[in-house]
Structure 1
Amino acid sequence: MFTDKDLAQISAHGLTPEQVERQMSYFGSGFPYLNIDRPAVADDGIRTLDERQVAEYAKRYDEFSQGKRIVKFVPASGAATRMFKALFEYLESGVSNPATEELLANLDKFAFAEELRSRLGGETAPEKIIRGIVAREGLGYGSLPKALILFHRYGDGNRTALEEHLSEGALYAADRDGKVNVHFTVSPEHLNAFKARVGQVLPAFEKRYGVRYEISYSQQKPSTDTIAATPGGEPFREEDGSLLFRPAGHGALLENLNEIDADVIFIKNIDNVAPDRLKTDTVTYKKVIGGVMLALQQRCHSYLRSLYNGLNDKVLIGEIARFTEERLGQRLPRDFERLSLLQRADLLYKLLDRPIRVCGMVRNEGEPGGGPFWVTAPDGSQSLQIAESSQIAPGQRQLMNAATHFNPVDVVCGTKNYRGEHFDLRKYVDPSTGFISQKSKSGRELLAQELPGLWNGSMAHWNTVFVEVPVTIFSPVKVVGDLLRPQHQAQ
């Protein structure tokens, strides 16, 4: 299948021929659908907390996180091209559309309006305004990452999405020494712009919040790229005969996450931020899911020490089994009770000795998309998973439509074992949960392959707990018009 030149290219990409051959095999066989049993709903897979419990877990987080290393992990690699898709369409066609009409009618409501007008020098023609927003000779937003776009207006200076994450970090991710660790994944071409913006704003944020920031960056590794194929399932080749490798989606960031040395890692998308006046719920529920995670992790570690030391009497094994099913999002295999006591202890040890994540889940207020489900394994055991629509068989779509909650990417992770050692997160991926999509390159159709999503199959074998959180923590900006929503406007 591969020539000597191909093998050299594969090696230069940090991949092995075996890895690429495995990727090619998926183009032929496809990826299997998940075996969905039922949606996770309130009190059947999703924990609901009353006011007392919310206060208790937030307090636990403040107590348990003392002395812990906390990192806020923000995937921020993508450019904002899709955010401004309608504006590019207008520039190509010359025909206005609802998105451009809305933008022009409300231009002064955007946080970037003042800077735009200073760049335009008095120009008021619609085409000049639209071009001034997206083109490099203007604001250049069409090629910038979302992190560097002005989202919110304040009396003392407007903020980008990046700055809102810095603000958030100070409010729930500062350690006891007042240090806030924030890690951004960025594209290499945007790294200098990130560093420049951070350098501009950091002194003011450190003064405002009385903290010190430790900002770090990483790039998606070339070794996580996947090979492209022709519609016929052969390796796709460029004009010069070389193979085409493509970025494999956010699942590739597992490699970046795996290199984060921390006790508590919060994951949140770059575009899901709120202005200060609406941050209270965000901060409270970040602490809540952090408190839930740390409490569960503490109990897991206690049980693991007991099992490791040979304390595996019938009463303790029964207690751990109930904890695993009632609190850790697991349903034990059908034959669990038929196993010997030693076999049960061994199985429970393996189930508890894994990374843990607690994910906030928001009630659906529209059409359900990817969300929380109970998934059945071949041995009859069940686990909680975040599934995307592409992972669900057409015959099971009614289960997706019955989902009551969706995934806002509000995740806190515990990635160390009871001995304080870092788990190798690559061992807990389900490689069969990627997916294939149709793309094109230079007018030629191709098949692209994405790795298991970061919070989907990449964390399939983690201990997973879902907690209901309010919709107020979810205010993403997918298109530029979303910035006109009340939650993104100055009051």
Structure 2
Amino acid sequence: MQLTDNDKVQLEKKGISAEKVRNQIETFSEGIPFVNLEKAAIVGEGIYKFSSNDEKTLIKYYNSFPENLSILKFVPASGAASRMFKALFNFLDSYNYKEETFKEYLTRTNDKSMEAFVNKIEAFPFYNKVKELIAGKTSNENEVIFLFVKQLLSEEGLNYGFFPKGLLPFHDYIKYTATPFEEHLLESAVYAKSGAKANLHFTISEQHKEMFLKEYTAIKDRVVKKTGMEYNISYSFQKSATDTIAVDMDNKPFRNSDGSILFRPGGHGALIENLNEQDADVIFIKNIDNVVVPENMETLANSKKILAGVLLQVQQKAFKFIEFLENSTASEEELQKIKKFLEERLNVRFIENFNSYTVQEKISVLKDKLNRPIRVCGMVKNEGEPGGGPFWVKDSSGRTSLQIIESAQIDMSIESQAAIVKNATHFNPVDLVCGVKNYKGEKYNLLNFVDIKQGFITGKTKEGRELKALELPGLWNGAMAFWNTIFVEVPLETFNPVKTVNDLLKPSHQV
């Protein structure tokens, strides 16, 4: 690939090396292989399910740690709300209240989303605000529905269709409405605090930063009064250097009309760079749109503490073992004890001829397996929600590991692979607790544990021309592929994402 002088200037501005571009083009040419599922992770085979006594013990263990344990809540929050309101945008484009009634529109289009939206319109947290803004503008009930949606979404109205999802009203407390941003602050005070301080980091779009700062100013007194917490909130943006090159159908750089190379955001996998810049003993990760109402807060808090208790328990044990291997002469019996711990507690699998290795070779392998970041991931029973799931995966070298795999990574045309997916019992709600430091308290470089071969190639169009786009390995998929992984079943009540506006009508979002 020949780069022009203008190309080189463009790459330099974005902080992307020519070598990285060439590697990405090579990935397009070679393609990204599907993963090889060995079996689904289920309770007893890759997923822990604890008794109530065990849960109490883990909660107590987490609560017993001193206040100087640094804790951070990391919230991917760059998602725009436009996708959430897709059905409403379609309605504005296809409904003319002057030519048909709303009932006739429903008959013509069979638009179940709009039917559900209007039938329970008063239950939305933004109902009163919009109603006040359109009051007296018309008495035609069909026009009222149109004006309501237009006021909600349009730039001249509330402009919610272009808000960051984290700043939309989600929960109606009568005296005020709360955004997901506010609910995450309240949550952190319950399970993710260090003494009387709560540290949160939000990854957001750069154009939304002022909006988040303004929101925090507006709610700070209320939140601090309710929790008694001191909040330390930081923000970061997806780095321009993590954008990926787009190519045409011949795998040549796709060029814009001005001749520049088209780069596209690398997806949420780019956030491994943002996560790598955080420094804490325990990091909770949870998406911005997954929040709970007060009645489910205790269930959520206990679930989070259980996951963190598991992390700290296995981490302390792993630290002792690696420190022992670094400073002592280990016997065969001691090596087998460490191997058993890795297999039973950290789900590590060893190659068959491991036992034929010399003592020094075994020590080297065990140290490598122990000396990795650890993630404990909550898994929810499969209720038909979209999303990735927990599987045992075999890589090209024949090594088996636990991974969170998305459907796009699986070749569903292979009957055996499709059968494994069909028999899966759990899915990934993005509910992680991470340990990113070694036994000396030094932070790992998380970029060393990414499987770059777990990205995604997708087809797109621009200006009527077809192109291929590259998504980086997902944050909790390939970006954490070489971490030590533990899956734990968590209650369904802890998973309340809002993917469409009508999800706000679910009981889990009604205060």
CA spacing shift, 1:65–1:397, aligned 2, 3 Å = farther
Matched, 1:14 2:35: no
Deviation at 1:404, TM superposition (A): 0.6
SS in 2 for 1:467: strand
| Structure 1 residue corresponding to 2:426, chosen from 390, 397, 405 | 405
Which ranges of structure 2 fall in alignment gaps of 5 or more residues? 96-104
**Counterparts of 1:64 and 1:320, CA distance in 2:** 25
The answer to whether residue 165 in structure 2 is matched with residue 165 in structure 1 is no
TM-score (norm 2): 0.94
* Partner AA of 1:360 in structure 2: G
Q: Which residue of the partner structure matches residue 24 of structure 2?
A: 23
Q: Does 1:60 align with 2:61?
A: yes
Comparing 111-120 with 91-100, which one deviates more in the overlay? 91-100
Q: Which amino acid is the alignment partner of residue 37 of structure 1?
A: E
The partner residue of 1:350 within 368, 382, 385 is 368
1:141 to 154, 160, 164: 160
Tell me the CA shift for residue 66 of structure 1: 3.1
Aligned-pair distance for 1:121?
3.4
Separation in 2, partners of 1:237, 1:358: 42
Gaps of 5+ in 1: none
Larger radius of gyration: 2
Q: Is the 8 A contact 1:312 1:342 kept in 2?
A: no
From 230, 241, 250, the equivalent of 1:212 is 230
1:42-82: CA deviation from partner (whole Å, max 9, x where unpaired): 01000110000111111111113632110100000010111
CA RMSD of aligned residues (A): 1.3
Query: What corresponds to 1:483 in structure 2?
Result: 504
Q: Distance in 2 between matches of 1:378 and 1:87?
A: 45
Assess, with a 3 A threshold, how the Cα gap between structure 1 residues 299 and 17 changes in structure 2: closer, same or farther. Answer: same
8 Å CA contact retained: 1:184, 1:216: yes
Q: 2:148 corresponds to which residue?
A: 129
Distance in 1, matches of 2:9 and 2:310, equals 48
Is the contact made by 1:60 and 1:291 (CA closer than 8 Å) also made in structure 2?
Answer: yes
Structure 2 residue 455 is the aligned partner of structure 1 residue 434:
yes
Instruction: Provide the residue aligned with 1:115 in structure 2.
Output: 129
Counterpart position of 1:322:
340
Give the aligned partner of residue 40 of structure 1: 41
Question: Which one is further off, 473-482 or 392-401?
Answer: 392-401
- Quote the residue 1:290 is aligned against: 308
Deviation at 1:378, TM superposition (A): 4.2
Q: Quickly say closer, same or farther: Cα 1:378–1:234, change in 2 above 3 A.
A: closer
Instruction: Give a deviation string over 1:349-374, Cα, whole Å, max 9, x none.
Output: 01100100000011112267520011
Specify whether residues 154 and 368 from structure 1 end up closer, same or farther in structure 2 by C-alpha distance, changes over 3 A only: closer
Q: What's the offset of the Cα at 1:165?
A: 0.6
Q: 1:7-32 CA deviation, whole Å, 9 max, x = no partner?
A: 21112111101101111111111111
**2:483 is matched with which residue: 459, 462, 465?**
462
Secondary structure at the residue paired with 1:335?
A: helix
Cα contact 2:387–2:429 (8 A) shared by 1: no
Q: What is the DSSP-based 3-state SS (H/G/I as helix, E as strand, rest coil) of the residue aligned with 1:84? A: helix
- The TM-score with structure 1 as length reference comes to 0.97
Q: For 1:405 and 1:60, how far apart are their aligned partners in 2?
A: 26
Q: Which secondary structure state, in structure 2, belongs to the residue aligned with residue 331 of structure 1? A: coil
The CA deviation at 1:379 is 4.4
Offset of residue 443 of structure 1: 2.7
Partners of 1:481 and 1:356 in 2: CA distance: 36
Task: Check conservation: 2:125, 2:177, Cα contact below 8 A.
Answer: yes
CA-to-aligned-CA distance 1:220-261 (integer Å, 9 cap, x gap): 000000011112322111010100111111000000000011
Question: Could you tell me which of 224, 242, 245 is aligned with 2:260?
Answer: 242
Equivalence for 2:74 = 73
Residue identity opposite 2:11 in structure 1: I
Q: Secondary structure at the match of 2:352?
A: coil
**1:372 is the counterpart of 2:390:** yes
What secondary structure does 1:466 align onto?
A: strand
Please give the residue correspondences for 1:156-305 in structure 2 after superposition, counting only pairs within 5 Å. 156-176=175-195, 178-305=196-323
Q: Does 1:445 align with 2:466?
A: yes
Identity of aligned residues (%): 46
